[in-house]
């Protein structure tokens, strides 16, 4: 998958996407990630990307011209252009699975008070939010989406890693996990897990997942 990112803070992307599973995906060529500085599409001496809102009010908006020029130069035939802002559809494991089927994405990140509405109107195929809170700019949201989508690409996760996916795929929280020692600081591993009775273990885990979900995330059961 090819992912392009348009941001005012390209330096923020060094680090999180150069570690572990995402690093491996990039090395294998499964993820081709390019981060672009929006200011590269300005033409004035100050590389201006913001302007004041018509109608007044506090704060600045991202002006449309650099974003239009950038998107028009970066997008290709198959590219899904996705705006990131708290006003978008709520990102989820289901949306991550759908995005993992795309070949080309361009993530356009927000800053200041947000985008001139015409960016949304004329350029965006979709608008996503990583949750109902506001961060200082869209770089972290972009990285969250890139990470969640990349780990779902065929060949990225090894067999040992992919079982971690069960949680949200089955729409239940995970059952409790234990490793050695069987007793640690007086806390014992549930007897059934030491029993070797695989039918009983499966039953216990299913029940625990249900109980835990009912307790912590009842919204998932509805
Ligand atoms: N939440 N999901 C988010 C965000 C920063 C003010 C608009 C979010 O995706 N992006 O909080 N982005 C804001 C900052 C302008 C973008």
> What's the pTM value of the predicted model, to 2 decimals?
0.96
Band the pLDDT of 222: cuts 50, 70, 90.
confident
Cβ contacts of 185 within 8 Å, gap of 6 or more: none
Out of 84, 132, 140, give the residue to mutate to test ligand 1, the one with the largest number of ligand atoms within 8 Å of its CB.
84
19-78 pLDDT per residue, tens: 999 999 999 999 999 999 999 999 999 999 999 999 999 999 999 999 999 999 999 999
Q: What is the reported pLDDT for 167?
A: 52
CA dihedral 141, 107, 169, 29 (to 10 degrees): -110
Work out whether strand 32-37 and strand 126-129 pair parallel, antiparallel, or are unpaired. unpaired
Both tokens assigned to 26: 């990039």
Cβ contacts of 88 within 8 Å, gap of 6 or more: 126, 127, 128, 129
94-144 pLDDT per residue, tens: 999 999 999 999 999 999 999 999 999 999 999 999 999 999 999 999 999
Q: What is the reported pLDDT for 166?
A: 52
Secondary structure (3-state) at 63: coil
Q: Is the Cβ atom of 114 under 6 angstroms away from ligand 1?
A: yes
H/E stretch holding 4 reads strand 2-7
Q: What is the reported pLDDT for 169?
A: 53
Both tokens assigned to 166: 């069960």
Q: Is the Cβ atom of 208 under 6 angstroms away from ligand 1?
A: no
Strands (E), 103-163: 104-109, 126-129
Out of 116, 134, 148, give the residue to mutate to test ligand 1, the one with the largest number of ligand atoms within 8 Å of its CB.
134
141-198 pLDDT per residue, tens: 999 999 999 999 999 999 989 855 555 557 899 999 999 999 999 999 999 999 999 9
Out of 6, 7, 138, give the residue to mutate to test ligand 1, the one with the largest number of ligand atoms within 8 Å of its CB.
138
The strand pairing partners of 82, in sequence order, are 107, 126
Both tokens assigned to 35: 């981060």
Give exposure, 196-207, as e/b (b: 16+ Cβ within 10 Å). Answer: eeeeebeebbee
Could you tell me the CA-to-CA distances from 188 to 30, 141, 174, 180, 193 in Å, in that order?
A: 42, 39, 19, 10, 11
Cα of 132 to ligand 1 centre, how many Å? Answer: 9
Q: What is the reported pLDDT for 164?
A: 57
Q: Is the Cβ atom of 85 under 6 angstroms away from ligand 1?
A: yes
Both tokens assigned to 103: 């070949």
């Amino acid at each position: 998958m090819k992912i392009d990112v348009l941001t005012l803070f390209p330096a923020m992307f060094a680090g999180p996407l150069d570690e572990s599973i995402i690093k491996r995906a990039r090395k294998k060529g499964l993820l081709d990630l390019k981060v672009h500085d929006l200011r590269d599409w300005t033409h004035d001496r100050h590389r201006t990307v913001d302007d004041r809102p018509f109608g007044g009010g506090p704060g600045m908006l991202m002006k449309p011209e650099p974003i239009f020029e950038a998107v028009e130069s970066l997008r290709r035939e198959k590219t899904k252009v996705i705006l990131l802002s708290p006003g978008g559809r709520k990102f989820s494991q289901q949306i991550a699975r759908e995005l993992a089927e795309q070949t080309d994405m361009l993530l356009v990140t927000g800053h200041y008070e947000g985008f001139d509405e015409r960016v949304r109107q004329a350029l965006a195929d979709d608008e996503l939010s990583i949750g109902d809170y506001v961060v200082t700019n869209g770089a972290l949201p972009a990285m969250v989406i890139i990470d969640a989508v990349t780990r779902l690409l065929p060949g990225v996760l090894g067999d040992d890693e992919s079982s971690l996916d069960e949680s949200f795929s089955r729409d239940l929280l995970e059952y409790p996990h234990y490793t050695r020692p069987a007793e640690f600081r007086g806390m014992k591993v549930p007897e059934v897990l030491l029993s070797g009775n695989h039918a009983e273990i499966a039953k216990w885990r299913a029940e625990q997942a249900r109980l835990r979900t009912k307790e912590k995330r009842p919204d998932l059961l509805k």
